[in-house]
Amino acid sequence: MAHTTLPPGDSPQRTRQAWSVLIVSTFAFTVCFMVWMMFGVIGIPIKKMLNLNSTQFGLLMSMPVLTGSLVRVPLGIWTDKFGGRIVMAAVMATTVPAIWMMGYATEYWHFLTIGLFVGLAGGSFSVGTPYVARWFPKHRQGTAMGVYGAGNSGAAVNKFVAPVILVAFGWTMVPQVYAAIMLGTLVLFWLFSYSDPAHLVPSNVKFTDQLKALKDPKVLKYCQYYSIVFGGYVALSLWMVQYYVGEYGLDIRVAALLAACFSLPGGVLRAIGGMLSDKYGAHSVTWWVMWVSWICLFLLSYPQTDFTILTVNGPQTFHIGLNVYVFTGLMFLLGICWAFGKASVFKYISDDYPHNIGTISGIVGLAGGMGGFVLPILFGALMDLTGIRSSAFMLMYGVVWVSLIWMYFTEVRRTPVMGSQEAAAPLAAGAR
C-alpha cells in the first residue's frame, strides 16, 4: 500500500485517504487516551495497597498527565516538521514497554517514574490535531478536529474495560492488556494512515521561536479556556471513580459506570461541538459553554449539609445535598458542555493560526494538560485540608469565573453572542 504518492485536489482517492486518516487516527487517539487515564481506575487498589493520602493519590494520578502535557509543544512542532504519521507511530511505540512494566511496580516511586513514561501517550493529541486538520478544507476543519478529539472518550472506555479486568484478574493485568492493545493499534495505524509532503511546514524555525507565540494575548486566553474544558475534564475523569466510592459508598464497578456518564459525552460529543463551531463560530459556542459550566459547578460545589433551625415547635434539622442521581445528571451535562468547549477552542486556533496549527495547538494543549496535572493534586490537597470532597468543584468554579470575565472584556463587548451578524446590524445602525 503506497502512502507517499497522493493525488492532487479533491479526487475520490484523496477524499478516501483523508477519511481513512481521520478514522484510524481517532481510533489511535482513543486508545492513547484510555492508557493515559489508566490510574483513574487502577489507582484505587494501588492507593489502598500503598496506604496513600489524598494528596499522594492526586500526585499518582497526575504523573502521566504531566509528561503528556509537557511533550505537546515539541510534538506539535515535530508534526509540522516531519508529518503526523511518523510522529504518532513513534509516540505509540515508545509507550508500549512502559505500560507493560506498570504491572510489575511495587513501590510508590516506581509508579511515579513509570507513570511519566506512560504519560507520553497523552501527547498524541497535539500530533493528531494538525495531522487530520490538514487533510480537510478550512470549512470542515472544525468538524474533522472535533471527530478526532472525540478520542477523549478513551477516558470512558477505560472505565468500562479496566474494572472488568481488575475484578476478574487483579489490577496488575490491566497494564499488560493495555500494552497489547496499544501494540495492535500501532500496527493498524501504520497500515491505514498516509503521508503528504505538502502538509509539512518550513523547518528553519527554532523551538524558542515557536514558543514566542506565548506572548500573543489570544494564545494565552485560549490556554485559559482549555485549562478548564480539557484540564478539568482530565482531572475529573481521573477523580470521579474514587469520588463516587468515597461520597456515596458505591462498588468500584458501579462507580466507574456512573463516572463514565461524564467521561463518555465529554469525549464523543466533541465532534458535534466541532460542527456547531463551524456553523455558529468559536466564540458563541465557548461563551455558552462557560455559562452552563458555571451553573453546573455552582450546584456541584455545595457540600452535603445538615443544619438545625430553632422553630416555635422546637429544633428541626434539614439536609441539603445532591443525591447520586442529581449529581450524575449534572456531571453528564457538564461533560456535554466541555465536549463542545474543547472543539470550539480549537476552532479558534484553526481560524486564527491556519499555518501554525501544530505549534499553537501544542501550546494550548500543554496548558490544558497542565490543568489536568495540577487539578487532581489540588483536589487531594483541598480534601486533606478541609475534609470536603466537593471542594474540587469549588476550585473549578473559580477557574470558570476567570474565563468568563476574560471572555467578556475581550470578546463579548465586540462580538454578537449567537454568532449572527444579521442580528447585530440593527444595533449598529441604531448606534450611528
pLDDT exceeds 60 at position 258: yes
For residues 5-20, average pLDDT: 71
142: nearest Cα among 342, 343, 419: 343
pLDDT exceeds 90 at position 379: yes
pLDDT exceeds 50 at position 427: no
Residue by residue, DSSP assigns 202-271 as -S---HHHHHGGGGSHHHHHHHHHHHHHTHHHHHHHHHHHHHHHHHH---HHHHHHHHHHHHHHHHHTHH
pLDDT of residue 179: 96
Which region among 5-9, 250-254, 357-361 has the lowest average model confidence (pLDDT)? 5-9
- Burial of 32 (C-beta count, 10 Å sphere; 0-12/13-18/19+): buried
pLDDT of residue 181: 96
For residues 295-318, average pLDDT: 90
More confident residue, 92 or 361: 92
Mean pLDDT of the chain: 85
**H-helix or E-strand spanning residue 371:** helix 357-386
Q: How far is CA 273 from the centre of its chain?
A: 14
pLDDT of residue 343: 84
pLDDT band at 416 (very low <50, low <70, confident <90, very high): low
pLDDT of residue 295: 95
Residues contacting 10, CB < 8 A, separation 6+: 137
Cβ 92 vs Cβ 182: under 8 Å: yes
More confident residue, 423 or 205: 205
Which region among 140-144, 181-185, 217-221, 236-240 has the lowest average model confidence (pLDDT)? 140-144
For residues 152-174, average pLDDT: 90
CA angle 141, 260, 132 (to 5 degrees): 15
pLDDT of residue 149: 80
pLDDT of residue 110: 93
pLDDT of residue 424: 40
pLDDT exceeds 60 at position 431: no
Q: Is the pTM of this model over 0.85?
A: no
pLDDT band at 92 (very low <50, low <70, confident <90, very high): very high
CATH 1.20.1250.20: does it fit domain 17-199+207-418?
yes
pLDDT of residue 24: 94
pLDDT of residue 4: 44
pLDDT exceeds 50 at position 109: yes
Q: What is the pLDDT of residues 65-79, one digit of tens each?
A: 999 888 887 887 788
* Residue tagged 445528571 (cell numbers): 329
Reduce the DSSP state of residue 317 to 3 states and report it: strand
Strand partners, 314: 311
pLDDT band at 206 (very low <50, low <70, confident <90, very high): low
